[in-house]
Amino acid sequence: MTRSGERRVLITGMFDMQNYGDLLFPLVARQRLARHGIEIVPVAPTGRSPGLADAIAPIPAARMLSGEEEFDAVLIGGGYLIHNHPMTFLTEYINDEVSDWASAALWLGATLAAALADVPVLWNAPGVPHLLGRGVHPLAMSAVRAASYVSLRDRGAAELLSPPPDLPVAIVPDTIAGLGALWSRQQLEAAYQGFLERKGADRTARYMTLHLRDRSVAGLDMAVLAERIDAFAQEHRLTPLLVAVGRNHDDPKTANRLARHLEQPHVLLDDPLSLCEMTAVFAHSALYVGASLHGYVACVAHQVPSVLVARPAYRKFAGFLEHTGRSEDMARDWDAALEKAAAKPAGYAPPISAEVLARLDEHWARILEGVNEPDRGAAGRRDFLRDVLRMGLDNRGPSWALAPFLSPSGTKSLRRDVTA
């Protein structure tokens, strides 16, 4: 236990980027675990602040691995974390010289840090975007064995991770499904009114919240899409409200591209002040149509009629809809999405079921159990350290392991002695 007496639990993820869903994970974890005397500390590849008022600033992954931080457990996820591809498309990571190892640090590095500190490592329902390569899969399985509790957010992730049958993996809904317990619609009212005032928006309008990601509109004529949205909004007496939830995905740029073609009065949220403000907009919408999974989750958590634009159709979309029994909410293109939206009952969507919420309760109980039992998984953590060392020696040779201990001056002296 840390010196303060309060247990300190690290949670890893892309918490240095201004992406709505990613930044909610630490807040949900804190809401769930604070009552048990647990402080949640986000860890990201860099220590950059994501720039939203209520997002918890992360510590850099290098500090987690350096031994400078005291902690009692590590949570991995959520989000699409279980992969090892370089993040060379992010300028911030290139500038901070972490792009090569940023993704691996959040799960393999997190497991290594937990093993070195001999504290539990627990998987907080992360996602797996694709099959792991042959080179990393054995170490990934060692990481799974080192964890006190492993959960993934959908069956697709489990199929891609491909653990052997003797490794139990829980499949639980994305933890953002419990967002309503963090902020109720009533608690978000002040933030929503503040947003409308900030934008000079009509307080009496019914808003159709839209999210566009570049992948969801690839190859489309924005003028044509805007014309269809204009017609839909006019027919249903709705005002388009464009929400950009991911800055590093260029969501603000994509939203502005559409906004330039809209003829109907509309509101643009491309400069969010806080996660609470963004959630308030989702929660007070009359309708959501968009390509953001967590925008969709935030809306259904607050009983907003919603359609998820799965273009392309990632497994995470079908996975969440399967958990919640809402497969009919998926559309493969914008025309189908607007058609589905037109058929939605005005102003009402069923709440997330008690069964789903109970599964989340069970998930957090398993997390707490893992933190409370630090000796469980100790053997797996020791094995992971051995496997890391063996894999490094096999792949990089003795110099990989011995280079940190070789002194250039000492090496020169040795050469003189040998040749004398």
CATH number at residue 293: 3.40.50.2000
pLDDT per residue as tens digits for the range 371-416: 999 999 999 999 999 999 999 999 999 999 998 888 775 444 434 4
Give the residue with greater pLDDT, 395 vs 2. Answer: 395
**Co-location of 268 and 329 in the same domain:** yes
pLDDT at position 347 is 77
Is 411 a member of any domain?
A: no
Instruction: Report if residue 419 sits inside a domain.
Output: no
Average pLDDT over residues 357-382: 97
Q: Which tens digit of pLDDT belongs to each residue from 15-59?
A: 999 999 999 999 999 999 999 999 999 999 999 999 999 999 999
Q: Do 159 and 196 have their domain in common?
A: no
| Average pLDDT of the residues in 195-204 | 98
The answer to whether 15 touches 24, Cβ cutoff 8 Å, is no
CA–CA gap between residue 16 and residue 334 (Å, rounded): 31
Angle at the Cα of 331 (from 326 to 332), degrees rounded to 5? Answer: 140
Contacts of residue 15, defined as CB under 8 A and 6 or more positions apart, other chains included, come to: 22, 23, 25, 26, 42, 43, 44, 50, 55, 56, 58
Question: Is the pLDDT confidence value at 75 over 50?
Answer: yes
CA 305, 311, 315, 316 dihedral sign is: negative
CATH number at residue 48: 3.40.50
Q: Identify the pLDDT of residue 346.
A: 82
Q: Which domain holds residue 204?
A: 180-352
pLDDT of 248 over the 90 cut: no
The pLDDT of 195-200, averaged and rounded, is 98
On average, the pLDDT of the chain sits at 94
Answer whether residue 294 is part of any domain. yes
Same-domain status, 235 and 330: yes
* Beta strand extents in 314-417 (DSSP E only): 330-331
Domain-embedded: residue 62: yes
pLDDT of residue 204: 96
- Both 152 and 191 in one domain: the answer is no
Looking at the structure of the chain, the number of domains it has is: 2
Instruction: Out of 313, 336, 352, pick the residue that ends a domain.
Output: 352
The reported pLDDT for the residue numbered 420 is 41
Last residue of one domain, picked from the residues 309, 337, 352: 352
Same domain flag for 266 and 229: yes
Q: CB under 8 Å to 199, separation ≥6 — which residues? A: 267, 268, 269
Q: Is residue 416 part of a domain?
A: no
pTM score: 0.94
For residue 242, list its beta bridge partners. Answer: 210, 268
For residue 300, count CB atoms less than 10 angstroms from its CB and return exposed for 0-12, middle for 13-18, buried for 19 or more: buried
CB 314 within 8 A of CB 296: no
Q: What is the mean pLDDT of residues 136-156?
A: 96
Residues 110 and 67 in one domain: yes
Q: Say if CB 386 and CB 115 are below 8 A apart.
A: no
Model pLDDT, residue 124: 98
Host H or E run for residue 61: helix 61-66
Same domain, yes or no: 138 and 244? no
Whether residues 233 and 264 share a domain: the answer is yes
Please compute the mean of the pLDDT values over residues 80-95 and round it to a whole number: 92
Please report the pLDDT score of residue 206 as a whole number: 97
One domain for residues 209 and 100: no
Q: What percent of the chain has pLDDT over 90?
A: 89
Tell me whether residue 409 is in a domain.
Answer: no
DSSP conformation class of 329 = G
Instruction: Report the pLDDT value the prediction gives residue 6, as an integer from 0 to 100.
Output: 86
Q: What is the distance between the alpha carbons of residues 38 and 356, in angstroms, rounded to a whole number? A: 24
For residue 89, count other CB atoms closer than 10 A to its CB: 10
**Confidence label for 348 from pLDDT (cuts 50, 70 and 90):** confident
- pLDDT of 201 > 60? The answer is yes
Predicted pLDDT of residue 415: 42
Which element (helix H / strand E) includes 106?
Answer: none
Same-domain status, 214 and 188: yes
SS3 131: coil
Cα atoms in the 13 Å half-sphere on the side-chain side of 62 = 9
Could you tell me if 87 and 221 lie in one domain?
no
Give the pLDDT score at 3. 47
Q: Are residues 161 and 224 in the same domain?
A: no
